Amino acid sequence: MSILRRVRTILFGDSARAFGTLSVVLLACLAITPAKDHFREWRRYQRNYLNLIRNRGDAATLQRRFEGGLQQTWIPELGVVDRCTTCHVAMKEASLKDVTIQPFRPHPYVPHTLTEFGCTICHRGQGAATSVQEAHHGTLAWEQPVLPARYLESACGQCHWNSLTGTPQLNLGRKLLARYGCVQCHTILVPGQGRMLTTNPAPPLTRIASKTTREWVFAWLKDPPSYAVTATMPNFQLSDADAQDISAFVMDQSVPAPAVPAEALVSAGAPAADPQAGASVYGESFCSSCHATVNAAGMVVGGNVGPELTRIGSKVKPGWLTDWLRGPRNYDPHTQMPHYRFDQKQLSLLAEFLRAKTDSDLLAKVQLQAASATEITHGKALVKERGCASCHEINGVARPENFAPDLTLIGSQSLAKIVFAEGIPHTLPDYLQAKIRKPHSFGKSTKMPQYEFPPAQLDALVTALLSQTERAATLPASLHAAGKRETDYRPAGKAGQLMTDMNCFSCHAINGRGGDMAPDLTWEGSSVQRKWLVDFLKNPNTLRPALIRRMPRFNVTAAEAETLADYVMAVYQTPAFDREEFDSAKSGADEVERGRQLFYSKYACQSCHIVDPKNDKGYIGPTLTQAGRRLNAQWIFQWLKNPQALRPGTVEPNRNMSDEDAHALTSYLMKQNREVARK
């Protein structure tokens, strides 16, 4: 006690001592703030940076450009207040690209600048924070931690709805959202365009009883990949009883398909003697351009426009198959399958070939009793509960509205509104990953079905979803780069009917509508010669030897080919030039020879195109052996001048060719009409 008393006497013994002591204490208190400021993390980083650059060759320049103190990027119209550059001081110093220690790495090249957008629009995190912890990691007050690098492309997707070459992951994610039916249950709004639409419509079930059996429906519902490994239908994890009831209802609601028009009726056909004959019809018709099969080695071979056919024989009824091949639109008016106009022999060979593609294990264990009325009613209730009609057209069940949560703003979903399943880190990307990977880990009652996406596709889907932010929805419209939206172009008249019947748009695009498997035909009338087109439609030959997807033969009649050719020649003309403009008077033998030399020496066209089948080998571009009877001279001329202007995105490089060279090459190519002479 005596010690305390003595201390008190020393410090506060009289008024002068008390005043002195209090002054010292006050001074110490006043010093706290500057001291704290002096030891701020960012000051340490700035000092470290100055040490780092001290011994470099360009130290003087770097030091001159260095700005100490708190730095801030402020962009009021985007709501950006980013102080990241306070520590990340070398963002713009390209000469430091060998530096690997953070926070001193310069920013790698991206097409935008820091001053334009700041940091957090792309990287997330808390821009205004000045400590490492608060800026990078989520806190109770700030839920957005820095975005992991693997989802970074989602940042681009906030403005870019067009498909950028630099963002393959984002593009894939969006493709998957559209392809796997996500957008059928969930609404995703695209700014200025309305809902994101599916690219892979599910088949209607209104006439399914004529197509397949209840047993197959049951097996399919239980486990889609056991029938087709490429199935896009997810697994709804139904119990046997529920799958039975749904299959009962689906069969019960089915109505008969209208009879196939009489003139197209052909008898089901006797089994073919030669098993290879069916396979060759399958091959000649290029079925595999759209349909996949799993080969003996277990590899999936073929396209993904139509369903996989590996076990088709175990699914479809024989009569339905022949009817379908004869006239697919009869069963499904919106199908992408072309009407092939098979003759009776082709039809029975192909049907026989497909019917043989069976899998005895698929339905071996499926034994269903006849369905009772209660089962059917229960099946209908289940169909409504599971949202089957979101994707499939079903009699008596309307397409549900807002069946699943709207995902337009999912990328900035507040974590407080999310129920995390156990063991999942509390971040938005981790939640999305877990939700897609195992929906049922969030409770048995969740309606979301089970998909089987490999990890890369999961990352892509999460990336696409993370781009759906509030910021994306509120950004100034001038920043939006709109994506391509399919037009609803329909060709008119008799030719239009033929094109619909043969489903040209499944492969070819015209005026912004159609597939990308085959060339865009918007300006086909300016490109080709009418006679060649008629012959080609009747009997398509190979233009691109290296392609495995080719134009099939549709058995069009001479009259149909003429109708189509008339329409193409009259309607699909470019406004950019006149077909007849080319001055062929100047195409003398000298000019042709000069063209030949240009072809083989200056422009080395033979590295990609074949003109002389004996010596030329290149097969990237189309074969030009018949260019003179296939193509229009003025088209060749214009194409040589600027290929991208005629067909945007074509691989042929623009050679910036002079008019003289283009004229000589055109003259040479117009002399190419080899095979015709022989035939």
Partner 1 sequence: MRMASAFVGIALVVCCGCSRTPQAAQAPSAKAFGTAVVEVGGGKQAAAIGTALDQPVVVQVNDAQGAPVASALVSVAVPGGGAATPASGLTGADGQFTATVALGGSSGRYQIVASTRDKNGKTIELRLEEVALGYQEIQGRELSQLYCARCHDPDSTPERVSNHDNLTAKAHAFTEGTVLNAMSEADLASIISHGGPALNRSPEMPPYGYTLGKAEIAALVAYIRAVADPPYRSKGAFYARN
Q: How far is the CB of 150 from partner 1 (least distance, A)?
A: 3
* Structure tokens, 405: 């949560």
Q: Which is nearer to partner 1, 148 or 496 (CB)?
A: 148
Q: Which is nearer to partner 1, 230 or 395 (CB)?
A: 230
The amino acid occupying position 213 is T
- CA dist., res. 570 & res. 549, Å (int): 28
Q: Are the beta carbons of 119 and 73 closer than 8 angstroms?
A: yes
Contacts 24+ apart (CB under 8 A), 528-536: 528/568, 528/630, 528/631, 528/632, 528/635, 529/629, 529/630, 529/631, 529/632, 530/565, 530/569, 531/629, 532/626, 532/629, 532/630, 533/561, 533/564, 533/565, 533/568, 533/569, 534/558, 534/561, 534/562, 534/565
Q: Which is nearer to partner 1, 111 or 258 (CB)?
A: 111
Q: Taking the CB of residue 481, how many other CB atoms lie within 10 A of it?
A: 10
Task: Tell me the backbone φ, ψ of residue 302, rounded to 5 degrees.
Answer: 120, 175
* Whole-number CA gyration radius for the chain: 34
Q: How far is the CB of 654 from partner 1 (least distance, A)?
A: 4
Q: How far is the CB of 668 from partner 1 (least distance, A)?
A: 16
Q: Which is nearer to partner 1, 70 or 548 (CB)?
A: 548
- In which residue are the tokens 């039916």 written? 181
Q: Taking the CB of residue 391, how many other CB atoms lie within 10 A of it?
A: 19
Q: Which is nearer to partner 1, 172 or 388 (CB)?
A: 172
Q: How far is the CB of 369 from partner 1 (least distance, A)?
A: 46
Q: Which is nearer to partner 1, 301 or 481 (CB)?
A: 301
Q: How far is the CB of 664 from partner 1 (least distance, A)?
A: 16
Q: How far is the CB of 603 from partner 1 (least distance, A)?
A: 7
Q: How far is the CB of 642 from partner 1 (least distance, A)?
A: 8
Q: Which is nearer to partner 1, 21 or 288 (CB)?
A: 288
Q: Which is nearer to partner 1, 108 or 443 (CB)?
A: 108
Q: Are the beta carbons of 579 and 632 closer than 8 angstroms?
A: yes
* Structure tokens, 533: 């087109």
Q: Which among 171, 238, 236 is positioned nearest to 392, based on CA atoms? A: 236
Q: Which is nearer to partner 1, 39 or 109 (CB)?
A: 109
The angle subtended at Cα 151 by Cα 149 and Cα 155, nearest 5°, is 100
Q: How far is the CB of 345 from partner 1 (least distance, A)?
A: 30
Task: Tell me the backbone φ, ψ of residue 443, rounded to 5 degrees.
Answer: 120, 140
Query: What's the DSSP call for residue 12?
Result: H
Q: Is 441 exposed, middle or buried (0-12, 13-18, 19+ CB in 10 A)?
A: middle
Q: Which is nearer to partner 1, 52 or 197 (CB)?
A: 52
Q: How far is the CB of 170 from partner 1 (least distance, A)?
A: 11
Q: Are the beta carbons of 93 and 65 closer than 8 angstroms?
A: yes
Q: How far is the CB of 659 from partner 1 (least distance, A)?
A: 15
Task: Tell me the backbone φ, ψ of residue 266, rounded to 5 degrees.
Answer: -135, 145
In the complex, the residues that contact partner 1 under the rule CB under 8 A are 97-100, 102, 105, 108-111, 148-152, 165-169, 301, 455-456, 459, 546, 548, 601-604, 607-608, 617-620, 644, 651, 653-656
Beta bridge partners of 190: 194
Q: How far is the CB of 476 from partner 1 (least distance, A)?
A: 23
Q: Which is nearer to partner 1, 28 or 604 (CB)?
A: 604
State the sign of the Cα–Cα–Cα–Cα dihedral 230, 231, 234, 238: negative
Q: Establish whether the linkage from the previous residue to 405 is cis, with ω within 30° of 0.
A: no
Q: How far is the CB of 169 from partner 1 (least distance, A)?
A: 7
- CA dist., res. 201 & res. 413, Å (int): 29
The CA–CA distances, whole Å, from 425 to 69, 74, 420 equal: 35, 32, 8
Q: Which residues of 86-121 are buried (b: 16+ CB within 10 A; e: fewer)?
A: bbbbbbebeebeebeeebbbbbeeeeeebeebbbbb
Q: How far is the CB of 595 from partner 1 (least distance, A)?
A: 15
Q: Which among 62, 69, 129 is positioned nearest to 91, based on CA atoms? A: 62
Q: Which is nearer to partner 1, 546 or 558 (CB)?
A: 546
Q: Which is nearer to partner 1, 174 or 207 (CB)?
A: 174
Cβ neighbors of 644 (< 8 A, separation 6 or more) are 650, 654
- In which residue are the tokens 């056919």 written? 309
The CA–CA distances, whole Å, from 10 to 7, 14, 15, 352, 410 equal: 5, 9, 11, 112, 67
Q: How far is the CB of 652 from partner 1 (least distance, A)?
A: 8
Q: How far is the CB of 547 from partner 1 (least distance, A)?
A: 8
Q: Which is nearer to partner 1, 126 or 253 (CB)?
A: 126
Q: Which is nearer to partner 1, 13 or 425 (CB)?
A: 425
Locate the DSSP E strands across 14-155.
Answer: 73-75, 80-82
